[in-house]
Amino acid sequence: MQVVFFFFYPLQLPHVFVNCVEYFTSRLLLEEILIQLQSCCSETEQTSHVPCDTFNDFVRLFKQAVVSRELQDQTLYIVLDRAEQLREMEANILPAFLRLQELTDRNVTVVLLSEIVWELFRPNIGCFEPFTLYFPDYSIGHLQKILSQNHPPEYSADFYAAYINILLGVFYMVCRDLKELQHLAVLNFSKYCEPVVRGEANERDTRKLWKNIEPHLKKAMQTVYLREISSSQWERLQCDNREPGQLKGLSAHTHVELPYYSKFLLIAAYLASYNPVRTDKRFFLKHHGKIRKTNFMKKHEKTSNHLLGPKPFPLDRLLAILYSIVDNRVAPTANIFSQITSLVTLQLLSMVGHNDQLDGPRYKCTVSLDFIRAIAR
Amino acid sequence: MSTCSVSKGCFVFKPSPKKRRVTQETANDFRIKTDDSEDSELRFITCQSLWNQIKSETEQIQEDLNKQLFDNLVSFLRQSHSEFQEKTSEWTCRMKSREIPTAALVLGVNVTDHDITFKSLSEVLQNNITPYIALLEAKDCPGIKNLMQKLMGQLMNCYIDVDSLEDEDYVQVSQNRIRCSMTSLISWYESVTKKTDSENLSKKRTSSSRHWQSPPVVVIFKDMESFTTKVLQDFIVISSQHIRELPLVLIFGIATSPMIIHNLLPHSVSSLLCIELFQSLSCKEHLSTVIDKLLLTTQFPFKLGEKVLQVLINIFLYHDFSVQNFIKGFQLCIIEHFYSQPLSVLCCQLVDAKKRINYLSHDQCENIRRLPSFRRYVEGQVSEKQIALLTEDSCIKEVTLKLLEDLNVYHENYVSVLRCLHVFTSSLPKYPLGKQIRELHCACLENRVWETEEYESSLQLARMLNKSDLVTMLQQCVEIFVSSSGKEFDKTVEKLKDFLTQFQKLEEAFQEQDVSVSSQKELQKKTDLYHLQKTLLELKESRRSKKLTKFEMLRFEVVDYIDSLVRNYLVPADHKTLHEIVYFNTASVLREHLNAAPRIALHTALNNPYCYLKNQALKSGGGSISNKAPDICIVYKLHLECGRLINLVDWLEAFSTVVMAAEGPNADAPSSDQVDDIIHARFIRAVSELELLGFIKPSKQKTDHVARLTWGGC
């Protein structure tokens, strides 16, 4: 919802617009502000590169820049988008920005844009409280008005508005992001127009058009919106008028082929992650003690283990379980050990604790029960 | 990748460019070990040339297999920024949010092979699409800053690579490479494209037409899984903001499944991407092609024995799925064979072998006589011939040549008949002889395949095949034999064709028969129920005792014929004389090299130091602990007898007892309760060495105790 950008343009206010994700270190950020500042008023002059390492330098250079551009009499705006990133930089950056006016003694306003509440920003060293302004969510009415504004030149505004109405009816439940909705609207509009182009319906025949487009939109929600298939593929599908069933989405390819022992290792890891240690003896030894049936305990475990998530286990336990679930003897060769590491790089297992710990590394199994079932088959 | 770096074999056999430099030394190595004459230099040269042939062959295979995938990718890349090229100002383009075109490349879990794929991919792209390619690896990019640095470094350098004329430019870049941000990347891109534009105008080069005016910038993430979420997210967010100025295309190398994209990226980020999926060929298919092209052909004289092949395939299937490692193993086999077998000098094309036989030294002839398969051959001869073979070198040379020719013919026939048999067995239910031709190959190499139960059952199943299947199979077999190089198959082809025509005739006859049967049935319909039952019963009876139909007879004949072919041509290789020359059969060596077992090796070293030190004093029998062994061995053996927690004091006592036993009874004068300082120090050193090796670690549960990290004992 970065409409603020459009707010500054027409007003011809001197402003600097910076995305904090893009300029990921404080130095890059400060330099970018200065560069934009230098170029924002006099675009003809090629600016020279000035190194700016600390906030102190920034304040000094900032003053110079303001003086040289003759901006003393105007209010200068610095807009920081995705301001939550500022918290990741040096501790002094955020408080300093909040006191920029005081520090530079110039007429300057800092605007922080963020999707999270101010309470999460507050640094421990304390800072100047900004003036918080909440940007309300768009209601469905607003969305419709905004989306209908940009109608294609070939069709009337009413026609497009009707289309937007239908679109919102389908997508409003799942998506309220304006950009995404706009994107979807454009993607599916040609399909909506199809009956009109073919002459089967005129522009007012909304009911007929609705019938035509509705299943199509629903399909779009399941595929394009989730990025199961890409939008260019979707467009090609529309052109060919094929069923999207032919194109498998991303999540259709869930099957992973693994080497024989990797499968067993993964299964062993899963067992080690989700079974408590004391049941190992009962499950994996041939001559175990009597199974004490304590019903209460069992029920308690069953509900909890999968909800609690995987637990870490030591390497030895993994190998012990592996030996007991593989039919024939497994020699502990280097190949087996390297497979464990490659499972970690494939993110099927994850290492718990420090990476440099050589004695007794601990792992966690990160795959789901369904995945294990598919493998074990 | 760590997978290959652990095993011994991969260290020794680095790719060839290095070997080139040390060629002379390696040849010397060959010679020194085998003491004398035995043509070591020639063997080395043969080995080199053979390996080079095989290497180029495998590269060719790889290229062919990846062609389809790369073609798809190239066309995707061409399309991806076509809008960018046209710079349309249409309504749809204006309104649509620009997504970053992304190719998700699913490559399978054999991470070791990916490097080569990516290398050839970037080559293909460089030739066809764009000079601007950056390959990123997760280990180089722990943060977004490193990623940007790496990216810009690669992009700007690759530009230099393409036009190495502008050295000044390079200097400039290196001077102000401090600012690694997207803006500088964009300005760089603009300057570069502008420059090439102007160059094109001035020089009117035609060669540059292979790239467009503004080629896309391709960023390849080699191992998507290992990238941290934050780095990827940040990078995608940043680049999506500049997609209009910088035509970026991402390629994700994925080892597991494309689901990982959704796992790594939240929807707000993945909605900035326009992902298309590309899947590479599965590594198993790749392996089958490699085996098909390398082993089941007469092109290369070198062959793998059954056990060796089994070891290689097992490593592939059980451990890593890596074709690269398979080929490395194959290379090891070649080198080991030429190194250890003096007669391998004859393992070359038949034409060369003929020449080489004439120059064989007396020692080499003796070597031939020592071959077990040759001895068996000699025993089968009449006595005069035997004497001649054992005494005269010229005679043995003659015979060897003949035998080698035989062997060559055998290989030619073997391959075709094997393929033919595979056609039959691969379509049987439950695949008694295996689905893949490699399994069949192994079975045939192992022993006489027709004596196995599986073969019996598959023949039985083949006798129940229906006609259409049988006919198509026969046709396939005819094709195989016709295309094969063996000279003896003219008759076979004729015979098979004869079968085919018979089947055709049968079909025609059957149609006629059909008509008569139906008329018979009509007659039956008119009779009453009782009669009908009776006739049916009779029919049943007659069918049971009835002679086989013509079709069944023919089917039996076909199967019998195939059986006879198998018995004739699929004799296991180790029944052939002189098979030792071309077959590499010492699987134990290979297993030792490729399937390293560090834990076992460590245990043997500590438990039985004689095994490695070869010191006669260390040769100890059974479980007793020798005091002459190194300290660490004594400490290790003692610790095996303990439980999970080891009391250090007790351990020291035991250690000193064992060590003192060395000095014998004469040294028991010092008081026994006071441990010698030197022994104490030795003990402490040994224990810390054990800790370093990872057998024990200090424990906080009890004072003066250490915890064992391994389990099991004597």
Beta bridge partners of B133: B218
The pLDDT of residue B171 is above 50: no
pLDDT of residue B52: 92
Write out chain A residues lying below 8 Å of B317, CB-based: 259-260
Tell which phi-psi region holds residue B703, choosing left (phi > 0), alpha (psi between -120 and 50) or beta.
beta
pLDDT of residue B97: 59
Q: Band the pLDDT of B538: cuts 50, 70, 90.
A: confident
Which of A88, A186, A230 would you mutate first to test chain B, the one with the most B CBs within 10 A? A230
DSSP state of B216: P
Q: Band the pLDDT of B685: cuts 50, 70, 90.
A: very high
- Mind giving me the DSSP string for B336-395? HHHHH-GGGGG-S-HHHHHHHHHT--HHHHHHHHH-HHHHHHHHTS-HHHHHHHHH-HHH
Most confident of the ranges A12-26, A52-66, B205-219: A52-66
- Mind giving me the DSSP string for A167-208? HHHHHTTT---HHHHHHHHHHHHHHHHHHHHHTSS-TT-HHH
Residue in A258, A334, A342 closest to B598 by CB: A334
- B306 residue type, one letter: E
Rounded CA separation B708/B477 (Å): 63
Contact B598 A337 (CB under 8 A): yes
Contact B145 A24 (CB under 8 A): yes
How confident is the model over B121-146, as pLDDT tens digits? 888 888 877 778 888 888 888 888 88
pLDDT of residue B603: 85
Residue in A180, A185, A359 closest to B694 by CB: A359
Rounded CA separation B666/B677 (Å): 19
How confident is the model over B267-278, as pLDDT tens digits? 778 878 888 888
Structure tokens at A337: 């050990």
A22 part of contact set with chain B, CB < 8 Å = yes
With both helix axes pointing from N to C terminus, report the angle between B283-294 and B437-446 in degrees, rounded to the nearest 10: 50
Contact B96 A337 (CB under 8 A): no
Rounded CA separation B192/B45 (Å): 49
Q: Residues 44..63 of A with a Cβ closer than 8 Å to B: which?
A: 49
Rounded CA separation A149/B229 (Å): 37
pLDDT of residue A241: 56
Contact B182 A257 (CB under 8 A): no
B9: closest CA of chain A, how far (Å): 12
Beta bridge partners of B253: B105
Write out chain B residues lying below 8 Å of A320, CB-based: 711
Q: What angle do CA B697, B699, B703 make, to 5 degrees?
A: 135
A296: closest CA of chain B, how far (Å): 32
Write out chain B residues lying below 8 Å of A251, CB-based: 258-259, 262
How confident is the model over A210-262, as pLDDT tens digits? 777 777 777 777 776 666 666 667 766 666 655 544 555 666 666 778 888 88
Contact A179 B101 (CB under 8 A): no
The pLDDT of residue B35 is above 50: no
pLDDT of residue A184: 79
Q: Residues 259..278 of B with a Cβ closer than 8 Å to A: which?
A: 259-262, 267-268, 270-271, 273-277
Q: Residues 112..131 of A with a Cβ closer than 8 Å to B: which?
A: none
The pLDDT of residue B530 is above 70: yes
Nearest chain A residue to B696 by CA distance is A359
- B238 residue type, one letter: I
pLDDT of residue B663: 58
Residue in B6, B234, B318 closest to A259 by CB: B318
pLDDT of residue B527: 56
A180 part of contact set with chain B, CB < 8 Å = yes
pLDDT mean across residues, chain A: 75
Higher pLDDT, A214 or B640: B640
pLDDT, mean of residues B225-241: 85
Residues B4, B10: contact at Cβ < 8 Å? Answer: yes
Contact A345 B237 (CB under 8 A): no
pLDDT, mean of residues A280-286: 75
Contact B6 A347 (CB under 8 A): no
Contact A331 B600 (CB under 8 A): yes
How confident is the model over A294-315, as pLDDT tens digits? 444 555 555 567 777 888 888 8
Mapped onto helix, strand or coil, the DSSP state of residue B252 is: strand
Higher pLDDT, B179 or B441: B441
Nearest chain A residue to B147 by CA distance is A24
CB-based burial of residue A351 (10 Å sphere; 0-12 exposed, 13-18 middle, 19+ buried)?
Answer: middle
> Which of A177-181, A275-279, B237-241 has the weakest average pLDDT?
A177-181
Write out chain B residues lying below 8 Å of A345, CB-based: 111, 223, 225-226
DSSP state of B206: S
Rounded CA separation B424/B461 (Å): 10
Residue in B144, B316, B697 closest to A359 by CB: B697
B602 part of contact set with chain A, CB < 8 Å = no
pLDDT of residue B158: 60
pLDDT, mean of residues B195-222: 61
Q: Residues 326..355 of A with a Cβ closer than 8 Å to B: which?
A: 331-339, 341-342, 345-348
Most confident of the ranges A13-22, A190-199, B641-650: B641-650
Rounded CA separation B392/B389 (Å): 6
Q: Is the pTM of this model over 0.95?
A: no
Q: Match 């170029």 to its residue by tokens.
A: A39
Size of interface A-B (CB pairs under 8 A): 179
Residue in A21, A25, A230 closest to B237 by CB: A21
